[in-house]
Structure 1
């Protein structure tokens, strides 16, 4: 079987992103017939149609969708190769792309990253905070080497390593009728107006699923961005809400709230270190996972 022409793969991605051969040709500054020829060569190489052509442009076939995924992974790998080689010229000895959730930053992660950087002073760390679903998506799609977030979303095709406990609790005003309880069932919580994160958040999806198993209807009165906003709304008397218990130490006194643990099996997920495949990681990224594993065990 002939080898894949990376120029053809790049042009195929341009077709996908632009939605038509003509626009892809204009973007790549070549004639449309050349793009069509490259597409035909790819389809001939695999003996399968990658796109369906119409007057309105192109539409991917199932084979085309699969090829798009692999082509993007290859393109990202080549781009990263160029970036890392240029960094070696500047004295850098590795580049790790890390994506983290807000909750993972609340359990001592910053100090552990700092200790890693002290041990690996010539490694560049590219860290971005994201919502939990985005952390998993970045790792799955190869745009990040390591993710650190609660295991609240689909994690197929990924390897997860336990990092820190992530118990959920009900945050409510100190004088609320439920504040005297040692723990609560979610059915008790659902009798009151809820304050939650935006619908795209992993915790919101988890609570929607849990509420669907109950005979009660969840009344979400307010949705906000971030747990700080949830605490502020609850303190203002706008409802009660489920948030990580680990926020109790910093939020309970400052907002005049009471945190009551949830007594549900699903209310005890784990914050995990997430990778596509540990053995395939570059040396510096693998060293970071190992460093976090040691820290978690300690």
Structure 2
């Protein structure tokens, strides 16, 4: 309980907000943290201009505390699962593209086959997925392999293909294929601020000596399609997700020819040896769905 309170204070940067989040009085949190500092013999928190922040020792404790709490949460889920006749649970974090494509269907097929297993999956940006897997608060992550995956073990999953979505009246609408650099003279729609996609588009524009500028930014693929349909710009989107909506809205979807436009998705984990039996079953199933022969060991990045 004390570790959970310490993590809450670090994340909120404020004891009062942490107390509200954990449904406890602020004075109780202060006493718990004081006791931890006394036992450790070091200062763990300091007051700064923008609130409370951890010291160097506090950062070390924060990393370890998240791992411990994650392990305890998984253990509790496993034990409660056995009590209710469900043998195991797996927490999966995935990027919006993965969740918009085949992952939900693949997981549904898995659950139909293994009814004694629980699977929860949530949408997150790639940096959040990587951080959660590294900290042990998620069992698996599924994302584009362009992310910073060093130190994690990865296995191939599926792939998709990026294309340029434009209104039928757009100057590029008659093109059969495009290079990304050819889109940079036209107004763009940004999708998912802070995502790997946005970072990569800026990077490749910079490599061409250009700047990628979006006129409007939205948080979902569906919203991007509607903005394009209104004639407010073009969008770089996965073809597999957007084809049905492009047809229904009368939009043109033009393949990108850049090598990086074929996105390879991976399943990432801290280590194959730390996976529960349920998580290993899910990994094997996802690879079978993707037509990938599952190797005996995952490959470190």
Q: What TM-score range do you get, normalising by the shorter chain?
A: 0.7 to 0.9
Aligned partner of 1:238 in structure 2 is 232
When residues 133 and 251 of structure 1 are mapped into structure 2, their CA distance, relative to the original with a 3 A threshold, is farther
Structure 1 unaligned regions, length at least 5: 1-6, 44-48
Aligned partner of 1:36 in structure 2 is 34
Aligned partner of 2:44 in structure 1 is 51
| CA distance in structure 2 between the partners assigned to 1:203 and 1:84 by the alignment | 35
Selected match of 1:228 from 196, 211, 222: 222
Deviations 1:1-59 (A, max 9, x none): xxxxxx76556546645768999895473883x7534313223xxxxx45365698864
Question: RMSD of aligned C-alpha atoms?
Answer: 2.9
| CA distance in structure 1 between the partners assigned to 2:131 and 2:30 by the alignment | 35
Normalization by structure 2: what TM-score?
0.82
Structure 2 unaligned regions, length at least 5: 293-301
Deviation at residue 142 of structure 1 after TM alignment:
2.0
| CA distance in structure 1 between the partners assigned to 2:70 and 2:158 by the alignment | 31
Deviation at residue 192 of structure 1 after TM alignment:
0.5
When residues 226 and 11 of structure 1 are mapped into structure 2, their CA distance, relative to the original with a 3 A threshold, is closer
Aligned partner of 2:299 in structure 1 is none
Aligned partner of 1:99 in structure 2 is 93
Q: How does 1:51-130 map to 2 (within 5 A)?
A: 51=44, 53=46, 59-130=53-124
Selected match of 1:151 from 133, 140, 145: 145
Number of residue pairs matched? 286
Whether the 8 Å CA contact 2:92–2:120 is kept in 1: the answer is: yes
Q: Return 194-203 or 230-239, whichever deviates more.
A: 194-203
Deviations 1:116-158 (A, max 9, x none): 1122111111222334433333323322212222224222232
| CA distance in structure 2 between the partners assigned to 1:277 and 1:238 by the alignment | 45
Q: How does 1:186-225 map to 2 (within 5 A)?
A: 186-225=180-219
Deviation at residue 60 of structure 1 after TM alignment:
2.6
Whether the 8 Å CA contact 1:51–1:58 is kept in 2: the answer is: no
| CA distance in structure 1 between the partners assigned to 2:280 and 2:205 by the alignment | 39
| CA distance in structure 2 between the partners assigned to 1:15 and 1:221 by the alignment | 38
Normalization by structure 1: what TM-score?
0.83
Whether the 8 Å CA contact 1:11–1:38 is kept in 2: the answer is: no
